[in-house]
Structure 1
């Protein structure tokens, strides 16, 4: 403070400690002397708001209002008048324009009002704090929440459209569930990569590897430059690669061991890119007799989403698809580039002749999402299991561990808490378990446990088959 005296009982050491505390907290102090109508500004406050230290006219509190952002002046004046009339303290935040460099900063001003015998304000002693960083962080958080809300709604709308369109072109419930689950997984893979890059873009090679690595690792080849796509284009390409891969597994090159799929991509002169999918070594190919949703998705939806076009040539020697995308689909290289997804083993699915049998087994379900827990309970019960639980919280799961359990299905995260204590307890009892999780760990099971992982969204038959496999080997 420019003028300060050591008060009664206050030592020089205490004064020094106060000075150091204010400095450490990044605070500047001031005094408003009503009798003399001046602000006494400390060097620390002067450094924060960009004015000279010392005394400056208060003008009834309006002396520094010219430095307040025009949009905040009226609100600040109202708050100040109300506090002076009714309270013994005040606390306000507003934008301040530094006169020395013109920067706009957010400041917090707080103080204690000392009143005279007549009840009128005699002085105010207070502090000033630069809260620009916190304010900017709050704004970023609000922007992120709004962006997240927008993305979630887009994802839900996409999932709804996929469900409706898949249902319209599917003749049986099992076929619908299989086709719909596959498309959901393609979207999940793309979103996992986008999340790792903070939604700034996803690499084409990562998208292709995520879709093809688990299908036929030795029958596919990928080649092209590092190329990143916008979130919209990444989702579109992921779905397109999924449709091509499913057709190749059912009818094309990946339906036989001698077949091969070659995926190549490159930039175009206009800033877009082109990707070619070439199948060889498979059975003889002919154009499909019926146009399903997969074909519609490829030929109409994918092209529009990529601001380009898709051409599919059903040559006798193998399908050849060419996807062209406009420059709008290409994203700059993100600051955070995730590692390439680790090759994942094919996920266990139920045998074609029926669901896995869990007859007589006691299976613990630990899942915090109620709908998923109910789906697991129904599916495992239909497979013959006696369900223990479901447990939705960590404490519920731990309390169920004293019951007879043959196997368990664990969600990795229970309302923000790790399921590790449950997994450790099961491991000590030599009870096998499978993780059914939405987390995209590339390095194996969560927590480093030696356990199968089924990644959400999943088909319930995958979980039942994984549990059956555990019981068969335990």
Structure 2
């Protein structure tokens, strides 16, 4: 062996090592002879047989490429052909053993003097992990977008509902600001726990810890709540605390509030709010939005029930939650963060005319459903529902419906079965959703889409337009 042979062998060995470390597989495609030479490394990545295999054209590779990607594979090669002699394409291999492999193929084309393709030399890279990470990022971004829009839409509905039940700007700012602060504290706890949930004692500390020092106390077993239940309980505690500060035990220095919770045999929990040492209590003559929140929102979101007893010695409230409100405790639970200052959002103008229309509302966020019901009723509609769950919505389809407002996702279940049933009956509907599908309406339905956060007058106007379009003219 000559010195030159030794140098060439060493260079080849280094190249082999580099390909091995990089996880790359090499190939040589003799296009003139119709033969593809597959290396062992490429075979390990793609599933191609090692050695020579017939490959007269790209059609010969079809059995190895995912059927959904083959057309795009050929089109990509055709698009790159005029640019010169380099190619780069990404596609999925046909699944083997239940595993789908993404590959990136890079090659250099050589031609004869007349420009006829002779061969392609290139490498194959397994990019499955990268593509999965990209897909996960896209999924997380879509979920974040949905969550943020739902929070903003809930704030908007909270502002409108608060405004309808207050008689002055100062009262509105106080009531709404407090409710928004309660939501902010709960969301801060949820964010700190990566949205796995929040501990009851942290929720209690966030709401009661800063008010009337020395007059509040809380105790109970360690319980970790789902994000939905945590938000609901935060609002409930705020409403009770606001009422105690204004009219109850915390309105005087001698008053006290005790919060206790116990675990129930069915996996849920019961929490009791007891006021003492304050002024004599009597039942309210007017039902405010706070009472509505406690009665409807909390009991719905906690999958349980709420009771308030206006005893002369002090208010006693009990909130019972189902097992679905309790989440597994994470390995580490963050400390209670400091409360944030409230923010405000703008309200909107009046609704369209829906006099006599029977409109179905399907929305899993109770506050948003309440706002929709209020706004559509103000516009003259006869509201059917609201339905908060998929089965509940399907159960309401056996009655006359002129139009519907649908949330795309109901507690993790697609609203598609409801949309399909309405489509078969030729009942028009509009999607009111926090998901940002770029391709139009969810599920590919031919329906208007209103993105959260929205003004209920937008929904009313969309429903009115649907009814106008679908009303036969004489």
TM range (shorter): 0.5 to 0.7
Match of 1:163 in 2: 159
Match of 1:420 in 2: none
CA contact (8 A) 1:33 1:124 kept: yes
Match of 2:168 in 1: 172
CA contact (8 A) 2:193 2:334 kept: no
Residues 411-450 of structure 1 mapped to structure 2, 5 A cutoff: none
CA contact (8 A) 2:249 2:279 kept: yes
Give the distance between the partners of 1:38 and 1:61, measured in 2 at CA: 12
Deviation at residue 48 of structure 1 after TM alignment: 1.9
Q: Deviations over 1:297-330 (max 9, x none)?
A: 1122222222222101111222111112233333
Match of 2:392 in 1: none
1:231 aligns with 2:227: yes
Give the distance between the partners of 2:244 and 2:341, measured in 1 at CA: 19
Give the distance between the partners of 2:234 and 2:340, measured in 1 at CA: 18
**Any idea what SS the aligned residue of 1:282 has?**
coil
Match of 2:336 in 1: 341
Unmatched 5+ stretches in structure 2:
346-474
Match of 1:123 in 2: 119
Q: Deviations over 1:426-470 (max 9, x none)?
A: xxxxxxxxxxxxxxxxxxxxxxxxxxxxxxxxxxxxxxxxxxxxx
CA contact (8 A) 1:49 1:98 kept: no
Give the distance between the partners of 1:256 and 1:65, measured in 2 at CA: 80
Structure 1 consecutive aligned stretches of length 4 or more whose deviation exceeds 6 Å: 6-10, 346-349
Match of 1:39 in 2: 36
1:57 aligns with 2:57: no
Give the distance between the partners of 1:113 and 1:199, measured in 2 at CA: 51
- How many residues align structurally? 342
Residues 209-224 of structure 1 mapped to structure 2, 5 A cutoff: 209-224=205-220
Give the distance between the partners of 1:301 and 1:198, measured in 2 at CA: 24
Deviation at residue 36 of structure 1 after TM alignment: 3.2
1:20 aligns with 2:17: yes
Give the distance between the partners of 1:40 and 1:208, measured in 2 at CA: 69
**Any idea what SS the aligned residue of 1:71 has?**
coil
**Any idea what SS the aligned residue of 1:44 has?**
helix
Match of 2:397 in 1: none
Normalised to the residue count of structure 2, the TM-score between the two structures is 0.65
1:67 aligns with 2:64: yes
Give the distance between the partners of 1:227 and 1:125, measured in 2 at CA: 62
Q: Which has the higher contact order (CA 8 A, sep 6+)?
A: 2
Match of 2:288 in 1: 292
Give the distance between the partners of 1:268 and 1:249, measured in 2 at CA: 30
Deviation at residue 79 of structure 1 after TM alignment: 2.8
Give the distance between the partners of 2:177 and 2:47, measured in 1 at CA: 60
Q: 1:97/1:197 Cα in 2 relative to 1: closer, same or farther (>3 Å)?
A: farther
Give the distance between the partners of 1:119 and 1:22, measured in 2 at CA: 30
Q: 1:7/1:125 Cα in 2 relative to 1: closer, same or farther (>3 Å)?
A: farther
Deviation at residue 183 of structure 1 after TM alignment: 0.7
Give the distance between the partners of 2:48 and 2:208, measured in 1 at CA: 63
**Any idea what SS the aligned residue of 1:91 has?**
strand
Match of 2:91 in 1: 94
Q: 1:348/1:28 Cα in 2 relative to 1: closer, same or farther (>3 Å)?
A: closer
Q: 1:281/1:167 Cα in 2 relative to 1: closer, same or farther (>3 Å)?
A: same
Give the distance between the partners of 2:177 and 2:102, measured in 1 at CA: 49
Residues 48-447 of structure 1 mapped to structure 2, 5 A cutoff: 48-84=45-81, 87-97=84-94, 99=96, 101-334=97-330, 337-341=332-336
CA contact (8 A) 2:185 2:340 kept: no
Give the distance between the partners of 1:222 and 1:251, measured in 2 at CA: 21
Superposition CA RMSD, Å = 3.0
Q: 1:11/1:196 Cα in 2 relative to 1: closer, same or farther (>3 Å)?
A: same
CA contact (8 A) 1:200 1:231 kept: yes
Give the distance between the partners of 2:93 and 2:221, measured in 1 at CA: 49
Give the distance between the partners of 1:89 and 1:7, measured in 2 at CA: 30
Q: Deviations over 1:370-397 (max 9, x none)?
A: x9xxxxxxxxxxxxxxxxxxxxxxxxxx
Q: 1:60/1:272 Cα in 2 relative to 1: closer, same or farther (>3 Å)?
A: same
**Any idea what SS the aligned residue of 2:303 has?**
coil
